Amino acid sequence: MKDPRPPAARQQRPEQPSNRLLVRGVRQLVTLRGPVPPRRGLQMQDLSIIADGAMLIENGRIVQVGPSVRIENLAAARTAQVLDCPGNLIVPGFVDAYSHLIHGPPRLDDFESRVRGLNGNNGMAASVRALRSATASRLRFQGSSVLRQCAALGTTTLEARSGYGLDESAEYKVLRLFRALNHSPLGIVPTYYGPMALPPEFEGKPADFVDFLVTRTLPRVAQRRLASIAAACCGRESFSPDLVVRFLRAAHELGFALRVFAETESLPAAAALAADYGARSLDLCGPIDAESASRISRSASMATVLPGPAFHLGHGRFPTPRIVIDSGGAVALGSGFNPGTSPTCSMPLMIALACCHMRMTPAEALTAATINAASVLGVAGETGSLEHGKWADFVVLEAGDYREIPYYFGMNLVAMTVRRGKIVYRKER
């Protein structure tokens, strides 16, 4: 009787227990092997594609990548379980460089108000109240649900940032949940986002709030190892560049990697801070000017662009990464997942928006959503490309060409998501 399952779902030789997996017959294997990440400028076009490719995986890590005819003839491949993928596309697992994994309930009233043309931006206070009052078990359920959706959309690693608690207790609660949810089933890189907005108890006192963060909260987050990255918003709620500098200096001294989110009105100052303080990225949800793009391109920082807010809010002011890439800079992609401006965790959608609204080529967008995003999170040595020694984090898609990912926008082409050699999502038939 013919096996009714799709080719990508068939595993052969199950009777031979083995810690090896042979993935073979891939029509287009996008490896992204190449120069030391992040990829900059023209390097973002190089995907290192292997036609009729294969991978040999052992103990969750890739040991060989190349043409099927070579990999299948290796001695170690003879005792491996086999995953046949004829006609399929395989790319590295998507890496979401910017996400609020846990943020409380959706802002449906705000959304409907905006649709009706009314003021629909009053939900931050409601989100803060909801998150502070929610139990850890309820928030963990929300986070687990989002992670399952991410896996179904091909994401294998994501940033998870705090920020919606705005007080010490709520922020610790969320950061502890990130630690508990890591590897269940996806990789989570936690970010402490202290100066995201001004909490109600510090209304009109941004300097006092930053003082509280740098003298109390930041040291405790570092001591408890709840986050590896610290982020600050430059411009929002009176977080002036001077206050952001104080936060960044304190975070750097405590060993955090740094990121800076730029509000439109403070973009030049935010770009200067990111470049001068060695931030991993300048995070953008709107256009970037030529001077700021040049400054970032000449620094060690990257531009992490978030197309979700422009799409969801409907104003059309998308980020402009083209100017960064053409200046020789590096660009990463993130979903910006949050309840107010980007309620989606779909990286394939971000790739489509990057191509259709931000003038990135499909190759650049895929690079930004894999190896460059992994660089922003500090995990490019482990994931983001398919090469010897890295974890076997990859996506099997019902496609034959990587350009189909942005072409079929809004459609989920993911047949299977694999993290560390284990299937974490398989499309039902």
**pLDDT tens digits, 188-241:** 999 999 999 999 899 899 999 999 999 999 999 999 999 999 999 998 667 999
Pair (112, 244) in one structural domain: yes
Pair (80, 201) in one structural domain: no
**Residue 1 lies inside a defined structural domain of this protein:** no
The per-residue pLDDT for 216 is 95
Pair (284, 214) in one structural domain: yes
Pair (396, 338) in one structural domain: no
**Residue 311 lies inside a defined structural domain of this protein:** yes
Pair (307, 420) in one structural domain: no
Instruction: Give the tokens for residue 349.
Output: 């959608």
Pair (334, 410) in one structural domain: no
Pair (323, 209) in one structural domain: yes
Q: How confident is the model at residue 13 (pLDDT cuts 50, 70, 90)?
A: very low
**Residue 2 lies inside a defined structural domain of this protein:** no
Angle at which helices 290-297 and 267-276 pack, to 10 degrees? Answer: 10
Picking from 342, 359, 377, the residue at the C-terminal end of a domain is 377
Pair (358, 417) in one structural domain: no
**Full domain range(s) for residue 77:** 7-93+384-426
Pair (203, 102) in one structural domain: yes
Q: How confident is the model at residue 124 (pLDDT cuts 50, 70, 90)?
A: confident
Q: Provide the whole-model pTM.
A: 0.93
Q: State pLDDT tens for residues 35-66.
A: 889 999 999 999 999 999 999 999 999 999 99
d(CA 86, CA 24): 8
Q: What CATH number is attached to the domain comprising 112?
A: 3.20.20.140
Is 70 exceeded by the pLDDT of residue 3?
Answer: no
Coil/strand/helix, residue 61: strand
For tokens 């890496």, name the residue.
95
The per-residue pLDDT for 15 is 43
Report the number of distinct structural domains present in the chain: 2
Pair (286, 396) in one structural domain: no
With contact defined as beta carbons under 8 Å apart, do 227 and 175 qualify? yes
**Residue 354 lies inside a defined structural domain of this protein:** yes
Mean pLDDT of all residues belonging to the chain = 93
Pair (51, 176) in one structural domain: no
d(CA 151, CA 157): 9
Pair (292, 411) in one structural domain: no
Picking from 377, 393, 414, the residue at the C-terminal end of a domain is 377
